[in-house]
Structure 1
Amino acid sequence: MRPHVICLMLTSPDGGLHPSQWTSSPDGSRADWSALYEKAHENHAGDAWLVGRETMAEISKAEPHPPSDPSSAKRPIHFAEPGAKSFAIALDRSGKLHFSKADLYGDHVVVLLGSGVSDAHLAELEADGVSYVVSDIPDIDVGGVLDLLSRQLGIKRLILEGGANVNGRLIAEGFVDELSLIVAPALDARLGGDRFVEFGAQGLAGKVELSLISCDRLDNGAVHLRYAMAKPSPSPAT
């Protein structure tokens, strides 16, 4: 059974992702809203958090350092710390992420990879103490991997904090159970600026329904919106 997945985002009312590009507000600042976001992250009490490759690259900031002998690379699964209690998970289909240690913010790193990843890259992850799961297809079987992580690592609540494409994909595929938004009193309004969720030209119409769980007023002019997510009910037969 897969984990309960909560998509948590800090956003402007027009969907902007990057506070550095937002308008100013007399009610609060970028630091104030980020602190509210971190508090919400803690309150959701996840066993793990998940991001895409670009977001994780900004966090890890490591350079490639493949070992001289990649012949010992294990497939498809390598759990370096099966007894860990919290996890930092990255989607990295092509194997482009690198790490200098096995944990981030105290959470053990697990990388989800496509089948085309090289043995040299797997050997590098293993040497760094990083866990990984290699899919049996070029893309990542997200549903299958989430089920595996729940069974093998005991992950029951996962906080999705990806970019727009990762969020959109997991929502469209029905893997997100809840949307949790910290909305700051600021606007982005840039033409073509990043948004917290995207799913190509077709959008998400017909793929998900939202039901309000709660709406709470926070400090510094922000609000916290929580929605339950579900696939739309089938239309009744006529």
Structure 2
Amino acid sequence: MKPALICLMITSPDGTLHPSKLTQSPDGSRSDWSTLYEQIHAEHGGDAWMVGRVTMAEMSKAGPHPVENPQAVARPAHFANRAAKSFGIAIDRSGTLHFDKGELFGDHIVVLLGHDVPDSHLAELAQDGVSYLLSDTEEMNIGAMLETLNRELGITRILLEGGAGTNGALLAAGLVDEISLVVAPALDARKGADRVIEFGEEGLAGKVELSLLACTPLPHGAVHLRYKTVAPSSGA
């Protein structure tokens, strides 16, 4: 069974990604909106969060540290901590992320990798106590990999938290069940600013539709928008 996948982000009315770039507001500050975001995060009750390679690299900050004389490594999966209660999942097709331990923010780290990531990188992840799962196909089938995480680690509800390319790709693949946005009363509007969701030149037209679940005013001028994702209607 695939875990429920909820895309949870904080954004501005112009749909941009980085709260640190937002203007100030008389109704609240960046710290207020961050607190609201964390509250919504907790209310969703996820047992895992998931990000792409770029976002995880910003959080981990570790550099490569190859294992000397690595022994045989497990393929296609190595689960270092099956007893963990919460998980942080990273999608890293080429195997370029590094860690210095198996946890981040108290959550056990699991990395989803392309099928051709070398043994040397797997040995480094295993030495650091990080779990990993390799794709069994050339094109990563994230849906199948998430089903494996449900079966092997008991993960049932994942909060997808960017970046924009990862959010867009999983929406296009039909894997996202809900979009949950905390909209702050502020603007970015920089030319070329990163958006919450991106998907190539073609965008998401004809790939996903949204149905409003709730629109809830929050303190400090923010709003919580929730949308259920549905398959495109015929003729779209």
TM-score relative to the length of structure 2: 0.97
Matched residues, number: 236
One-letter amino acid of the structure 2 residue matched with residue 142 of structure 1:
I
| 8 Å CA contact 1:93, 1:139 repeated in 2 | no
The aligned residue for residue 176 of structure 1 is 176
Q: Distance in 2 between matches of 1:164 and 1:137?
A: 24
Match of 2:94, SS? coil
Counterpart residue identity of residue 13, structure 1: P
AA paired with 1:110?
Answer: V
Partner of 2:159: 159
SS in 2 for 1:171: helix
Match runs of 1:118-197 below 5 Å: 118-197=118-197
Q: Tell me, yes or no, if the aligned pair for 1:71 and 1:119 is still in contact at 8 Å.
A: no
CA distance in 2, matches of 1:33, 1:180: 14
In structure 1, the residue matched to 2:204 is 204
Q: Distance in 2 between matches of 1:70 and 1:213?
A: 51
CA contact (8 A) 1:93 1:138 kept: no
Which whole-Å CA distance do the structure 2 matches of 1:105 and 1:23 have between them? 28
CA-based RMSD of the aligned residues comes to 1.2
Q: CA-to-partner distance for each residue in 1:152-206, whole Å, 9 max, x for gaps?
A: 1111111000111000000000000000000000111111110000011111111
What secondary structure does 1:13 align onto?
coil
**Pairwise mapping of residues 1-238 of structure 1 onto structure 2 (< 5 A)?**
1-235=1-235
Tell me by how many angstroms 1:140 deviates.
2.1
* Structure-2 separation of matches of 1:73 and 1:120: 9
Compute the displacement of 1:235 (Å): 4.2
The CA deviation at 1:99 is 0.6
1:167 match: secondary structure: helix
Q: Deviations over 1:73-92 (max 9, x none)?
A: 11100001112111100000
Secondary structure (helix, strand or coil) at the match of 1:220 reads: helix
Q: 2:219 aligns to what SS in structure 1?
A: coil
Q: CA deviation at 1:214?
A: 0.6
> Tell me, what secondary structure is at the counterpart of 2:16?
coil
| Matched residue SS, 2:123 | helix
| In 2, Cα distance between equivalents of 1:188 and 1:138 | 38
**SS of equivalent to 2:221:** coil
Unaligned runs of 5+ in 1: none
How far apart are the structure 2 equivalents of 1:55 and 1:30?
19
Aligned mates of 2:231, 2:172 — CA distance in 1: 9
